[in-house]
Amino acid sequence: MQIKRLLIIFNLFIFTALNVLNAMADDDQDRRDSDNVKLHNVNYKHVYYKVDQGISTGIILDQKMSNLHYTGPGALINFGRRVYTPDYIAEWNFLRINFGYLEPEHKGTQVYKPSLGVRYLHLRNLNSRGIIRVHAGLQANLFADVRIAPRLGNSYLFADIIGEVRPQCKLSTSFYFLRQWNVDFSLSATLTGIGIRYPEYGTTFMLSGDGGIAFQPGERHILKLSNFGHVTTGIFLDESFGNPSNPNRYRIGYIWDYYSMKGNHNLNVNNAVHQLVLEFYFKVN
């Protein structure tokens, strides 16, 4: 009698477990089918407005300003628009603002380091069916990086203004832990561009022809591998939030940005920034 009861209980347990596993498998398959439908539907398109904010730490050596390395914290905020389709990703960053507060090791001089920029990015989908999704394309980037050093007297203002074309590659994958997560890794480097450095010499002012004081002129360069390098890499984790029928997204990640430019008179600049960034994407279509 007891054996019969145990068999009945065991059969009920197996039946219940099989039903739970079957329901979980159906849900997982429905999720994959939904992703595939979205992926291969040519009319599928997401449009987001985005806001990025974060903190940073940077180091710069500008030999026009000083032979010292200046380091310190900073903050950033960016505004943009991003479009996702099965064929491409397009992003327009119409305002990128960064601000840093830097000092040398001896703490005798403070440098304020604002920068402004705009950027357009277009990446084509090269592979979407494997575990790793691959996008590649180009970005056009224009930015001004300024250093203001009030305590340096007649050498208080320095700037780099750079317009560049940059190939970029993005690798993405997804995993499921309680919910769907996406991981992105990107790498971009400058191909060519135009760079302006100000001033040409190490002082902001010079004597003018009439004996007065005038601003130093800048120097201009066609950017190529022999005189300029700019590399940006980042890794992000992103996930959706909000209403399931109109999901917004957020991304949190790390960016390393470094550029080096040679100048006239062997006065060069090397600039590196580490950023921790939180990005919000608000769906509008």
CATH number at residue 203: 2.40.128.100
Q: Does pTM top 0.85 for this prediction?
A: no
Contacts of 234 (CB under 8 A, 6+ apart): 184, 185, 186, 253, 254, 255, 256, 277
Q: How far is CA 89 from the centre of its chain?
A: 14
25-72 confidence digits (pLDDT tens): 444 444 444 444 444 445 678 999 999 999 999 999 998 888 899 999
Shared domain for 238 and 134, answered yes or no, is: yes
- Which residues pair with residue 109 across a beta bridge? none
Q: Are 213 and 151 part of one and the same domain?
A: yes
Q: Where are the beta strands (DSSP E) in 9-87?
A: 46-62, 70-84
Query: Domain tally for the chain?
Result: 2
The whole-number pLDDT of residue 213 equals 66
Residues of the domain holding 111: 45-283
DSSP tag of 153: G
266: buried, middle or exposed (CB in 10 Å: 19+, 13-18, 0-12)? Answer: exposed
CA–CA–CA angle 121, 164, 233 (5° rounding): 60
The two three-digit tokens of residue 170, written as one number: 């993005």
